[in-house]
Amino acid sequence: MAIKLHRSGGFIFDNFKINNTNNIYLLDVVKNATPTKIRYDYIVPGRNGSSSWFNRLDDNYIDVVVGIYDVNINERRSKQNLIIKNIVNKKARLLFLDNTGQHYMAECIDAIEEEETEVFTQLTIHFKCSWCKYGMQRDITLVDGVNKVYNLGNYEADNIIEITANNNCEKIIIDNGINSFTINNILQDEKIIIDSENMIVYQIINGTKQSVLTRFEGKFIKIPLNISNLTLSGQNYNATVKVRYNYIY
């Protein structure tokens, strides 16, 4: 039996691997090389002209086609059920074996299509994925003053900043040279988390997120491309500040 395999050699989703073994094959992958920019044009009723919203980066849809070969229909069904069990109702990393340094965040929200022949079952899985590929994660601890940061991806990066107060802090300011924000009145041993992607500021108390957005002033910041500076400053403060971000491709 001649099978045309996809050149990536397989994929991993939530630690479940398909790599052309056990008579389960990755046959095809359809995906965009770059994210799609969305534009909406709205005609204003009763007025000349229109309003436009554009430059939003849309989610990717990646279709993978998996083939299961076995002359025994019960064996094919068993393998099919295993694949479906490890794909549906999960949101996790999706990476392809020819590029294991980069991944998407993905979930399967559409139906998995099934096509049968006498000895072959073909499944088409539709992954709804993050608009970008994420590369290596970086974790840095800021020191007082100017800190150099590196973004080797293709897009500016969202980030998560954790501020842990070592004593009562009046004011902490973080500036990326374009925008800045201030966190006010942090008590000793409090940890405040600033999530720039979801635009939330919170603490975790007894396992539950609690918003402290009222202590936040300014704008959520991103990590610019190439080499840039993050400046840590403030008033009457002593805190440990950690920044976590991914390269985005």
pLDDT in tens, 157-196: 999 999 999 999 999 999 999 999 999 999 999 999 999 9
Alpha carbon distances (Å) from 1 to 23, 119, 122, 181? 11, 10, 15, 62
- Both structure tokens of 179: 């925008």
Question: Residue 6 and residue 66: Cα distance in Å, rounded?
Answer: 10
Say if residues 95 and 62 touch (Cβ distance below 8 Å).
no
pLDDT in tens, 123-146: 999 999 999 999 999 999 999 999
Residue 109: what are its φ and ψ, rounded to 5°?
-110, -10
User: Three-class SS of residue 215?
Assistant: helix
- pLDDT score of 54 more than 70: no
> Above pLDDT 70, what percent of the chain?
96
Question: What's the whole-model pTM score?
Answer: 0.77
pLDDT band, very low/low/confident/very high, at 226 (cuts 50, 70, 90) = very high
Distance CA 64, CA 32 (A): 13
Q: What Cα–Cα distance (Å) separates residue 249 from each residue in 32, 47, 104, 130, 155?
A: 12, 41, 10, 11, 6
Confidence at residue 40, expressed as pLDDT on a 0 to 100 scale: 72
240 forms beta bridges with 164
| Model confidence at 33: pLDDT above 70 | yes
Letter for the amino acid at 128? K
Instruction: Tell me the domains of the chain and their CATH numbers.
Output: 11-129 (2.40.30.200), 135-248 (2.60.120.860)
Mean per-residue pLDDT, 27-33: 93
The secondary structure element, H or E, covering residue 84 is helix 73-85
